[in-house]
Amino acid sequence: MAEIIRLRGSPHEQAQQLLPWYVNGTLEADEAAMVEAHLVECAECRADLAAEQVLAREVAALPLDVEHAWSMLSDRIDAAGPPRRLAEPVPFLRRKVAIGWALGGPLAAAAAAVAFAVTLTPGAPSPAGETYRALGSAPTAAPGNALVMFRPDARDSDLRAALTKAGARVVDGPTASGAYVVRIAPASRTQALDGLRATPQIVLAEPIDPGSQP
């Protein structure tokens, strides 16, 4: 990192140097015009621009907080060695649960189960064909539950602001069609999607559920 390289001089070198700020839209008009003029005639810089736009998006999307905090804790866990667990199971009669609850609990549960079974309509078709899917059975810990597509000219900062406001976290994408899969707390999903749909830079915001194809 310490080496000094000279970047001044040719339009190519100047464009190379300014690309990141061309990408984030902060160049002065004359600088941006110079970069654009060079991009027209330089395939290498056009390729670099594409790569730079991806890099910019990925840096901005880095979930620094959780990931890094977790890796710090993870290092501490490694350093501490395996946690000490109770060596022996506690004998049943010495557990700190009143014997009445230990016996009464299962009885109460059985009674509740009977009560529940009785309330079912006799002869109603059983939902045998359906498979129930717990959240934990999805392939990732927190699968995406909504699909969001942005206008092509939307700025990265607008996208971030819209997603943050909706409490949405990008979990995958862009898909082949340019949409992102996001995760929103299930309880607030409907409201969050309404908010996203009302954002001008957003073309589409639809719920998806585990098992359905985006």
Partner 1 sequence: MALFARVVGGDRAAFEELYRLYHPRLTRFLLNLIRRPTLVEEVLDDTMMVVWGRADSFNGASKLSTWIFAIAYRKAMRGLKRQDEAVEDKDAENRVSDAASPEDASSRQRINALLMRAMDELSPAHRAVVDLTYFHDLGYREIATILECPVDTVKTRMFHARRHLRRRLSGALTDWI
What are the residues binding partner 1 (CB under 8 A)? 1, 4-5, 7, 16-18, 20-21, 23-27, 50-52, 54-56, 58-65, 67-69, 71-72, 74-75, 78, 140, 156-157, 170-173
Residue 172 CB, nearest distance to partner 1 (Å)? 5
Residue 111 CB, nearest distance to partner 1 (Å)? 45
Place of tokens 């160049």: 27
Nearest-angstrom CA–CA distance, 203 and 69? 34
Of the pair 24, 201, the CB lying nearest partner 1 is at 24
Q: Quick check: 155 and 199 in contact, CB under 8 A?
A: no
Residue 65 CB, nearest distance to partner 1 (Å)? 7
Nearest-angstrom CA–CA distance, 148 and 205? 4
Q: Quick check: 210 and 148 in contact, CB under 8 A?
A: no
Residue 146 pairs in a beta bridge with 182, 207
Place of tokens 């971030």: 160
Of the pair 31, 203, the CB lying nearest partner 1 is at 31
Of the pair 67, 194, the CB lying nearest partner 1 is at 67
Of the pair 23, 149, the CB lying nearest partner 1 is at 23
* Angle at 18 (CA atoms; ends 14, 19), nearest 5 degrees: 115
Of the pair 65, 88, the CB lying nearest partner 1 is at 65
169: three-class secondary structure by DSSP: strand
Q: Quick check: 8 and 14 in contact, CB under 8 A?
A: yes
* Angle at 155 (CA atoms; ends 152, 157), nearest 5 degrees: 145
Torsion angle in degrees (nearest 10) through CA of 94, 96, 99, 102: -110
Residue 134 CB, nearest distance to partner 1 (Å)? 20
Residue 15 CB, nearest distance to partner 1 (Å)? 12
Of the pair 181, 205, the CB lying nearest partner 1 is at 181
Residue 24 CB, nearest distance to partner 1 (Å)? 5
